Amino acid sequence: MAAGAPTILGSRKTGKTPGRILLPYQIDWINDESPTKLGDKSRRTGWTWCEAYDSVSRRFRGTNPRPLDYWFSSADESAAYEFIQYGGFFAKDLFGRIADMYTDQVEDPETRKGYVNAFVIRCPNKARITAMTSNPRRFRSKGGDTRCDEYAFHDDAEGMNDAASPCTMWGGTYAVWSTPNGELSVFNRFVQNCRKVLAALGFDPNKPPRDLPYQTLQKKALEMRLTPIFSYHRVTIIDAIEQGLVDKINSVSGSTQTREQFLDGCRSKSRGEDAFQQEYMCVASVDAMAWLSYKIIEACEDDRVPHPGEPMEGHTGGPLAIGIDVGREKDLTFAPIGELVGDVIWPRQTITLQKMSLVDQAGEIVRAVEGKRVLRLCIDNTGIGVGLADILEKKFGPSRIERINFTAQNKEILAVGLKQCVEDRGIRFPARNQKVRDSLHKIRKSVTAAGNIRFDAPRDSEGHADEFWGFALLNEAFRTPDAVKPEYTPIDNIMRDYGEGGF
């Protein structure tokens, strides 16, 4: 972070400065003279734009131009081409020079043959700015400043780091930046190392200081055995908005959106909260670790499935099954009622209950299926679930109730069963219901230090994956139908037989 680093100014010839086109966080990045630095950033905050400015500014300026070559690598060729176009703009707009821009081929050091197109700016001091797509071999035998754009999306991120960082041995610098791409990515590992070092030094990793000497970071990182070592920059979409991003967009595009409208637009374009957090808030997605990915969940969505709380719809008259995940105060009781059509489970109604006595909950469930044939009911028999199971057993009869204790073994059976069902598209979910999507996506498989497998989810304001377990119990109810007599007595008869006590 290099305390006291000089601000990189624009051209004396044109009198233009970066303050006209760059925002504070971009200037902080440019002013950081650390030998290695990392940008953990939101989408579309202009990181590549400011890096293109920096590469040109250091080589086109009249005083002490940087003599080293500059090597830029991105995840695809179009991004490399765009970077060079930015560079050409800055050469002309800020320094009044027409850049010598051309396409070259980077030689593969293993085959000694032209390997890929590279886009080049030849600078007035004879240094070159070269942009190309990512492949570790392309950095072999190169020297100078090396940069990796959208590092989390490189096919071989570890190989890129191993190949690019030695290029700086003779005075070059190395920088990577990216939007996150999952908890398991190499980029996220680098980010977490940076955050651990800053936390150990007593700083808030969400607001990394800009005046901390790189040597301080280096010393602490080596003590903690955390490598590679980077100076850390973090810019969420909210940080960028607060520093003038929306105002800049409005001035360029002629729009008049407020900061709140812009942020709402970013959120509404995201697939879900998990995607918004990753794309805009520098929080690596847990999708790679999720038991059910958003992709396979969405593949099972259908507009004909009623949303939770809506009345029964689409029932063709076949026998029904019910899965019940029980809650009362903090968590929901989530009870999908489904019908098997062919080999697909169609939820016909989903009852959601909260802050309601167990007797009243039982009444709601029974009334929902009154007059209909119920094949089986699987219920969470843990904690207060025992009480609700006792009441419902009197109404449905013991042959139709399967009590499932939420032990680690039983949760694994339920989770594996639901995943197989979803992957086979053997169940349908309500379309575009983000709460249901997020709950289904929330479950994580982990292994304890003792080697035991766990399936669980973090508790938040939306619950504790109640929807996941409700649908898992519904699937389980259809997986074991043979224990039920084939006549599937309608519920009005059951209520006459087992109605003692009422509701």
Instruction: Name the CATH code of domain 18-242 (choices 3.40.50.360, 3.40.50.300, 3.20.20.330, 3.40.50.620).
Output: 3.40.50.300
What pLDDT, on the 0 to 100 scale, is given for residue 18?
54
What pLDDT, on the 0 to 100 scale, is given for residue 98?
73
Cβ-based neighbours of 395, under 8 Å, separated by 6 or more: 362, 366, 491, 494, 495, 498, 499
Token output for 407: 């032990």
Token output for 492: 């009005």
Q: Are 263 and 236 in contact (CB under 8 A)?
A: no
What pLDDT, on the 0 to 100 scale, is given for residue 116?
60
For each successive 10 residues of the chain (503 residues), what is the average pLDDT? 40 50 93 95 93 94 90 86 91 80 66 66 91 73 87 86 84 94 86 95 95 94 92 97 94 92 92 86 80 90 95 93 83 91 95 89 91 91 90 88 92 94 96 89 75 74 80 91 51 48 47
Between CA 475 and CA 418 the distance in angstroms is: 6
Cβ-based neighbours of 394, under 8 Å, separated by 6 or more: 498, 499, 500, 501
What pLDDT, on the 0 to 100 scale, is given for residue 8?
41
Between CA 222 and CA 214 the distance in angstroms is: 12
Token output for 166: 């030695």
DSSP 331-361: SPEEEEEEEEETTEEEEEEEEEE-S--HHHH
Domain ranges of the chain: 18-242, 294-498
Q: Are 109 and 141 in contact (CB under 8 A)?
A: yes
What pLDDT, on the 0 to 100 scale, is given for residue 351?
94
What pLDDT, on the 0 to 100 scale, is given for residue 15?
46
What pLDDT, on the 0 to 100 scale, is given for residue 445?
80
For residue 363, the one-letter residue type is G
Q: Are 385 and 470 in contact (CB under 8 A)?
A: no
Asked whether this chain's domains 18-242 and 294-498 adopt the same fold, the reply is no
What pLDDT, on the 0 to 100 scale, is given for residue 270?
87
Q: Fold for 294-498, please state it.
A: Nucleotidyltransferase; domain 5 (3.30.420)
